[in-house]
Structure 1
Amino acid sequence: MSDDQLENNVNNVENIDDNDDDDDVKTGDKFTTSTSRRSYKYEDPPITFKDIDGLAAIRKVEEMVFTMLNPEQQQCLKEIDEYLQSESGAWAIGDEHLDLISFLLK
C-alpha cells in the first residue's frame, strides 16, 4: 500500500467521539479530541448470574462426566475451570468449548 493510499484510509476513518465527555483538550482557540480508544455502549446490559457458584457447578460436572470425555474435551473442561478460578473479566469462548458445552447438554 502506498503512502498516499494509507493517508487516504486514515483520513476516511469515522470519528466516533460523541462530544459528551471530558476527553477534549483545549489548545489555543481550538478543541482537539484525544486518541484514546472508545468502546461502544449497548442498549441491553450483560446478563449475569451472581447467585450461582460457577466454580462449584463446574466441579460437580467434572465429577460426573470427566471419565467419559476424550482428552480434548477434558482439556476444555479444565480451561473453563481455570477461568472460573481466576475470576477474570472477559473470556473468548472457542469452538472447542462450545462443542463441549453442546456435547454435555445432549
Structure 2
Amino acid sequence: MRVTINGEATQVDADTVAALVTQRTGRALSPDGTPADGGRLGLAVAVNDEVVPRRNWQATALTEGATIEIVTATQGARNECQHTVINHAIINHAIHRTGRPAPGDRRA
C-alpha cells in the first residue's frame, strides 16, 4: 500500500504499525511493542497526526494513504523528558506540514 512516511511517499507491505516498525528497523517486536531482543528502540510513531502508544502498535492498522511520522529519540533524553521531546517533535512537524496544531495539542 502507498503511505507517506516522514514526508516521503512510499510503498509498504506492512499492515500494522508494529509490522512497519519491524520492517524499517529489522527488529522483531513483542506484542507490547518492545523489542523481542530486550533492547531499546527509541522510536515514537504517529499515524495521521495521532501518536500511537507502543502498546497499541500491534492493533493499529495502516490504511492506504496514511501519513506516518517515525521519530527517533535523541541521546540524553530519558523517561518523561524523552516522551515530551518526541511528542513535541511530532506536534511541531504536524504544524509545519499543515499550518495548524495536531489534534490533542494543548500548547498555547
TM category, shorter:
under 0.3
Which structure carries more strand by proportion?
A: 2
Greater percentage in helix: 1
Question: Larger Rg: 1 or 2?
Answer: 1
Higher relative contact order (CA 8 A, sep 6+): 2
Name the TM-score, length of structure 2 as normaliser: 0.24
